[in-house]
């Protein structure tokens, strides 16, 4: 079972912690969030389990939180066949909802330009033949 926080970024008052758990089988995982050593799951959410072609699973676990100076956050993944794995967040490992939205928008826009860049020359070539 591999785990990692997804992004390095500056601390902000409202942030989204993202925990990526990969390479586990069977698909039973139990994530726990901790704030200063106490379990905290009030605003947590996760994707559905993602099954790779080789029947190995992965999942994204997220927690929307309001940052207070000096807070320590951690996420622990429990799996029936492995020891629990914990990742702790410090100032350099938080991702902002705005930043995530900007990255997704940039990816979609880049994909649109790629498709247009492939289809337009094909149509021009096809129209010259007829």
Taking only the tens place, the pLDDT of each residue in 53-68 is: 888 888 888 887 776 7
Instruction: State how far the alpha carbon of 29 is from the alpha carbons of 69, 81, 91, 114, 120, in Å.
Output: 31, 10, 27, 37, 46
- What are the angstrom distances between the C-alpha of 79 and each of 14, 82, 102, 112? 30, 5, 33, 39
Q: CA angle at residue 21 from 20 to 22, to 5 degrees?
A: 115
Which of the pair, 41 or 79, is modelled with greater confidence? 79
| Beta carbons of 16 and 63 less than 8 angstroms apart | yes
- β-pair type (44-46, 73-79): unpaired
Instruction: List pLDDT tens digits, range 13-63.
Output: 567 778 888 888 888 888 888 888 888 867 788 888 888 888 888 888 888
pTM score above 0.75: no
Q: What is the tens place of the pLDDT at every residue in 81-124?
A: 888 888 887 654 554 455 556 777 777 788 888 888 887 777 77
Could you tell me which residue, 86 or 127, shows the higher pLDDT?
86
Interatomic CA distance for residues 73 and 59, integer angstroms: 19
**What is the Cα–Cα distance from 16 to 13, expressed in whole angstroms?**
10
Phi/psi of residue 97, nearest 5 degrees: -55, -40
Predicted pLDDT of residue 113: 83
DSSP 69: T
């Amino acid at each position: 079972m591999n785990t990692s926080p997804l992004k390095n970024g500056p601390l902000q008052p409202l942030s989204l912690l993202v925990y990526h758990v990969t390479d586990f089988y069977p698909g039973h995982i139990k994530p726990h969030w901790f704030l200063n050593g106490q379990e905290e799951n009030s605003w947590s959410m996760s994707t559905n389990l993602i099954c790779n072609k080789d029947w190995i699973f992965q999942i994204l676990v997220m927690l929307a939180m309001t940052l207070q100076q000096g807070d320590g956050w951690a996420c622990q993944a429990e799996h029936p066949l492995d020891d629990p794995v914990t990742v702790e967040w410090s100032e350099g490992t938080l991702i902002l909802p705005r930043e995530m939205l900007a990255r997704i928008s940039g990816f979609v826009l880049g994909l649109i330009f790629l498709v247009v860049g492939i289809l337009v020359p094909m149509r021009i070539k096809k129209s010259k033949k007829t």
